[in-house]
Amino acid sequence: MPSKTGTYDINSLLANKFQSVAEFGVDTIQQVLEDDLAAHNELVMEMVSEICELTVDRQRIYGTSATGDMQETDEFGKTPTQKEVVGSTVAFPLKLFQYNIGWTSKWMQTKTPADLAISTLAAEKAHKREIIRQIKKAIFASANYSYTDHLVDKVALACKRFVNADSEPIPDGPNGEAFDGATHTHFTANAGLTAPVALACVDNVIEHGHGGSVKLAISRTDEAAFRLLPGFVAYQDPRLVFGASTTGIPEQRLDIARLDNRAIGIFGGAEVWVQSWAIANYVFVWDADDPQKPLAFRQRNAEAIQGLRVAAENDDYPLYAKDMEAEFGIAVWARTNGAALYFGAVAWADPTIA
């Protein structure tokens, strides 16, 4: 009878609860865990690609616009020369995050591959959690800051937030609209959630020409309140819809698979999403289809040291340690492709992100 074909994966290790690590083979486990890390990194990059541009750049120029006014003259006249406004520098930090695991040699002799796999899965979960934390900090913090690129050459980087009235140049709108960099901001506040202030948050993104696929993210805590806003059109729950649409127009069905990560309807032309990373009393709006993503996800140039990886292993009897690390940084790239609303007070306040 032919032997079973297939490949060892993380589930193989989790299922093996009767052999010790030593009996199963450390080399076999090592290869399985390396393959799982590669798959994990691919899934993480797919997760962040909707809101982040993957890059190895550490700074760019943003905010340039070819602007000017035609001036009337006669056949003998000559108008003054005009000068273009240069954009501002935006930079992206590079930070080092570690998750270190240690065992004794006796642990290796008695524990199973499942125990070892669980430790690696914990590192992967911590990696994903930290990426989400850094995305939230990049979105909801309102003040520009300086970051020393200490992992490279200690150059001071000027990291910007979404448009925040810092007097930096702002690109013109799609119809030539000009924006005052000293007053225009995408961080707004109101003492309560109302349709006008939510629409204004959506307009803050659309008026800059971002309109391909505008999304509005809210916490599940605020879902009930948002559904009550005038102008909100809810997607239909398939469990409550029977037969064809009476209008003849196909209906968008509500995703019932996961309550904290789904689109629930349309408001002001934007698709409203309940997101697990959203924060209560805050709204975030962005254009998911715009080539210029709201954020940049910076990594090292060399692919071999991108993503979560095993940086070092130390076998010094009776101790055995594995050091896992990831180098990345997340900061705002397209300063106009993102707007936030805080409806817990009359003035904007950065949320506390643990």
Phi/psi of residue 225, each to 5°?
Answer: -65, -40
Q: What is the pLDDT of residue 90?
A: 95
DSSP code of residue 347: S
The DSSP annotation for 196-248 comes to HHHHHHHHHHHTTT--SSEEEEE-GGGHHHHHTSTT-EEPBPTTT--SS-TTS
Burial class (CB in 10 A: 0-12, 13-18, 19+), 46: exposed
Q: What is the pLDDT of residue 150?
A: 95
Q: What is the pLDDT of residue 1?
A: 47
Contacts of 76 (CB under 8 A, 6+ apart): none
Q: What is the pLDDT of residue 6?
A: 46
For the chain, 354 residues long, the average pLDDT of each consecutive 10-residue run is 50 57 60 77 86 94 68 74 71 94 73 72 89 96 96 95 95 89 97 97 96 95 96 82 53 60 92 94 96 95 89 76 90 97 97 90
Given a contact cutoff of 8 angstroms between Cβ atoms, the answer to whether 170 and 179 are in contact is yes
To 10 degrees, what angle do helices 26-48 and 113-140 make? 20
Q: What is the pLDDT of residue 29?
A: 61
Given a contact cutoff of 8 angstroms between Cβ atoms, the answer to whether 31 and 114 are in contact is no
Given a contact cutoff of 8 angstroms between Cβ atoms, the answer to whether 129 and 44 are in contact is no
Given a contact cutoff of 8 angstroms between Cβ atoms, the answer to whether 286 and 214 are in contact is yes
Given a contact cutoff of 8 angstroms between Cβ atoms, the answer to whether 179 and 173 are in contact is yes
Q: Residue for token digits 């900090």?
A: 137
Q: What is the pLDDT of residue 260?
A: 66
Alpha helices in the chain (DSSP H): 10-15, 21-24, 26-48, 105-110, 113-140, 195-206, 223-227
Task: Tell me the Ramachandran region of residue 18: left when phi exceeds 0, alpha when psi lies from -120 to 50, beta otherwise.
Answer: alpha
Q: What is the pLDDT of residue 104?
A: 76
Q: What is the pLDDT of residue 330?
A: 97
Given a contact cutoff of 8 angstroms between Cβ atoms, the answer to whether 210 and 286 are in contact is yes
In our burial notation (b when 16+ CB lie closer than 10 A, e otherwise), range 220-250 reads bebbeebeebeebeebeeeeeeeeeeeeeee
Q: Residue for token digits 């020369």?
A: 81
CA distance 220 to 264: 11
